[in-house]
Amino acid sequence: MSLRATAVDPADLGANVRARRRALGLTLEQLAEASGVSPAMISEVERSVKNPTVKLAYQIALALGCSLTDLLEDGAAEAPEVVRAGDRRTLVDPETGVERHGLSPAMLRRGLELVWYSLPPGASAGEMTANRRGIVEHVVVVQGALTIRLGGQPTRLAKGDGIAYRPQTTVEYRNAGRTPCAFILLSDATRAR
């Protein structure tokens, strides 16, 4: 059995590298430093003067935050996805008034869940059971104060404070204060097994 392949046009690859670099706001020098590939070589790739080796293309892709396949297949980073406040997928607990707003469906498709929680004074989102293995969660408080209980152990966070943890134990988000609390939760399942 033979595999038929279509070679990547150096012009397409160069345009893809340039578009992704610009979308990330990187200079040639910044991309060179991040990738370990010389600025001259990156410039030649972008101008379609040279086609890089697989190794160099892989290093450039990693520095651009994409896979080599992504770099070979499309030019620009995806178009922005706007999610209006009124269009968010929202769950409101009728008993406590706790609100959970999904913020980015595009990220969810990549294994990242971005959520905004609002907790009225004295409210709790309730104790949640352990999440599956490999999940990492990051919380940043944007208003008020939050007490997060991991396996029953409380940690108090003020506005601007953050915490990262593996939720392989019970988790509870509680606003023990007298003012509303809001926080952003990023759940990363990209390495979950």
Q: Which of 54-58, 69-73, 136-140, 149-153 has the lowest mean pLDDT?
A: 69-73
Query: H or E segment at 31?
Result: helix 28-35
Tell me the two tokens of residue 69: 């396949």
Query: Residue 156's pLDDT is what?
Result: 97
Give the 3-state DSSP-derived string for 85-99, with helices as H, strands as E and coil as C.
Answer: HHHCEEEECCCCCCE
For residue 175, which of 186, 189, 188, 159 has the smallest C-alpha distance?
Answer: 159
Tell which CATH architecture fits domain 85-188.
Sandwich (2.60)
- Ordered by start, the domain boundaries in the chain are 10-73, 85-188
Q: Is the pLDDT confidence value at 181 over 60?
A: yes
CA-CA distance, 126 to 138, in Å (whole number)? 18
Mean pLDDT of 19-46: 91
Mean pLDDT of 151-164: 95
Average pLDDT over all residues of the chain? 85
* SS3 of residue 182 by DSSP: strand
Residue type, 170: T
In the 8-state DSSP scheme, what is residue 124? B
Neighbours of 47 (CB within 10 A): 13
**Complete DSSP assignment for 125-160:** --PBPPPPTT-EEEEEEEESEEEEEETTEEEEEETT
In sequence order, what are the beta bridge partners of 62?
none
- Which CATH number does 10-73 carry? 1.10.260.40
Q: Is the pLDDT confidence value at 4 over 70?
A: no
Tell me the two tokens of residue 39: 């600025």
Query: Residue 120's pLDDT is what?
Result: 97
